[in-house]
Amino acid sequence: MGCSSSVAKAPDEGNGSPVPSRKVASSDDADRCAGDLPPMLLTDAQRNSFKRSRGKVRRTSEATVALEGGVQADFDANWIGLATTHGIDLYSELEDPEFVKINQDRGMVVWPFAGSYGSAMLGLFDGHGQGGERVAEQCCYLMTDLLAKDLQLPTNPMVSLEEKMCQLDELVLKFSSDDCDPYMCGTTATIVYLLGVNVYVAAVGDSRCVLGYIDRAGLLQSHEMTRDHKPSMKGERERLEAAGATVEGVGDRSRMWALHEESDSLCGLNMSRSIGDGFCKQHGVIPVPDVQSFSLHECSPGSNMRDTFLIVASDGIWECVSSDEACGIVRASSGAQLACQALLERAQKGWERKTAAYRDDITVIVVFLPFLHPEWDLQLAKEMEEEQAAATPLSARNSQCGSPRGSIGQGTQGRIDINVGETGMAKLKHDEVPANLRNYAAQASLMEFRRNSELAASFKRSSNEKRRQTAAPQVGRAHKTAQNL
């Protein structure tokens, strides 16, 4: 797919890679942790929807979630949760009175996946740049379709996830519209594929997936299944600089910069891998994901159905909440949707403590494991076979060749449910912002403008110096050649 990197061998079914552990906190508080989650049941609505529909796309906006009391339609909120909220950008509002903050995050839960209740897919896309929300939402549908149709996904998931992530990037870069140019905007991408007892995670950017579980000693463990692709990371910095980019800062505050010569402007990105961002792809940014896997056999003692869970979230969470703290919050919650809401509220308070003038978009998915039910496929197939037999005259059944199961299998393929954190817009009313806060934001915005201007001037001087150094040997060689002639 035009992208290459070493890929670890996929584990055999039931034998995932060992999960490194980090002790977080004791879990001997019986009142807080006791009791299993209510068992998930196949509802009549799910049963009928599975039988009648080859594919279904459901958009869930912030307003819809609020009307439903925070419960995601069709999903058991004890086991599966998704919450999202837009950010705040007072700096931009001061610069442009017409500015409205758009939620560029998109989160999705796809289950059943590819026609089976025995597999599922989670996705988190955090868009950036003008039109980034369109790229993020487009990725929800494109990635679901790419993976659902990939025949090698169940047998070779790690290779498949890497290849499809790169193919996703190619498809996104081909798309352009008046309000969305993937050459100058893009998104992170974190994909979680669940199959049986195995979980596979592929990610580019800084939207993180964290595994939380109770070990056999009764301690809560936290393990980051992804790494944040920051420009200053070892290996990332070298690749970016070799492609002509400049890396500024370290860690979470690092950023890659490149000069867009046509507009004589400086373009930056605070990650080293992404989907889209065509201009930055010319300067060392790549779409190749890190891919990891683990097996529930490695981490779950099986004593309590709340002992293992996944958190997938945009950096709006991770800027203010550590992986350890996030796992503690989920563990203390009585269900997945309530855990999402608690994480969202904790992150909002964290942003308020950091700066009242800005808050990033926040999207979080929480699922307790295992929530897959492969046995439901057999149950539904049997029901459909019985219904078809009852509806078909005996003479017609006798004339048919083979079992009706073949047609049933075709009918159950491609069943897709998607929850998309639909775009939400925010604009603070004038009387909601105290005068001292507006003054603070104006000063901070001016300082940021000056700093970026100085950085752009420095970058241009550095680029011109490099060009002179590169051109000097070439001029010398040309002069020698002329003398020899």
Q: Are 200 and 11 in contact (CB under 8 A)?
A: no
pLDDT band at 357 (very low <50, low <70, confident <90, very high): confident
Least confident stretch, 7-11, 80-84, 85-89, 126-130: 7-11
Instruction: Give the whole-angstrom CA distance, residue 451 versus residue 173.
Output: 31
SS3 track for 47-78: HHHHHHCCCCCEEECHHHHHHCCCCCCCCCCC
Q: Which pTM value belongs to this model?
A: 0.78
Tell me what percent of the residues of the chain surpass a pLDDT of 90. 32
* The pLDDT of residue 204 is above 90: yes
pLDDT at 135: 93
> What is the rounded distance in angstroms from the CA atom of residue 271 to the CA atom of residue 299?
31
Question: Both tokens of residue 354?
Answer: 């950091």
Confidence band (pLDDT; 50, 70, 90) for 9? very low
Distance CA 163, CA 117 (A): 24
Q: Of 114 and 319, which is predicted with more confidence?
A: 319
Return d(Cα 317, Cα 331) in angstroms, integer: 17
Count of helix runs (H) and strand runs (E) in the chain: 16, 22
State the average pLDDT over residues 298-320. Answer: 78
Whether 438 shows a pLDDT value over 70: the answer reads no
- Window from 99-113, 152-166, 315-329, 429-443 with minimum mean pLDDT: 429-443
Per-residue pLDDT for 365 more than 60?
A: yes
- Given a cut of 60, is residue 467 above it in pLDDT? yes
Backbone angles phi, psi at 80, to 5 degrees: -130, 125
Q: Check pLDDT > 70 for residue 380.
A: yes
Whether domain 43-226+284-382+410-430 has CATH 3.60.40.10: yes
Say what the pLDDT of residue 417 is: 41
Is the pLDDT confidence value at 461 over 80?
Answer: no
pLDDT surpassing 80 at residue 184: yes
Domain ranges for the chain: 43-226+284-382+410-430, 230-270, 434-485
More confident site: 113 or 428: 113
Q: Chain-wide mean pLDDT for the chain? A: 75
